[in-house]
């Protein structure tokens, strides 16, 4: 099943992508997807990352299903 992964800001610069598709087996969690992405793009680990699952902040325990959307982004601050 295919999961859409979106990258924003610094995460997009690191991966060179704005969006990719990840093939995940049934029963895998969002944490499994995130961990595999960190293994594939180790420079992501140099940032404080936030994750969302279907446009809600993710805990990592969500079971992914075909067509789900995961997003990885860095904390944004301003003044």
Q: Is the pLDDT of residue 23 over 80?
A: yes
Per-residue pLDDT tens digits for 44-77: 999 999 999 999 999 999 999 999 999 999 887 5
**Alpha carbons 58 and 23: distance in angstroms, whole number:** 19
pTM: 0.88
Is 46 strand, coil or helix?
Answer: helix
Average of per-residue pLDDT values in the chain: 92
| pLDDT value, residue 75 | 81
**Alpha carbons 68 and 65: distance in angstroms, whole number:** 6
First to last CA, the chain: 41
- Domain ranges in the chain are 2-74
Fold of 2-74: Ubiquitin-like (UB roll) (3.10.20)
CA 55 to chain centre: 11
């Amino acid at each position: 099943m295919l999961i859409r992964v979106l990258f924003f800001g610094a995460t997009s610069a690191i991966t060179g992508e704005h969006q990719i598709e990840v093939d995940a087996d049934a029963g895998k969690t969002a944490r499994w997807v995130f961990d595999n992405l960190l293994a594939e793009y180790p420079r992501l680990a140099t940032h404080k990352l936030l994750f969302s699952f279907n446009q809600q902040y993710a805990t990592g325990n969500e079971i992914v299903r075909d067509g789900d959307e995961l997003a990885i982004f860095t904390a944004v601050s301003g003044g």
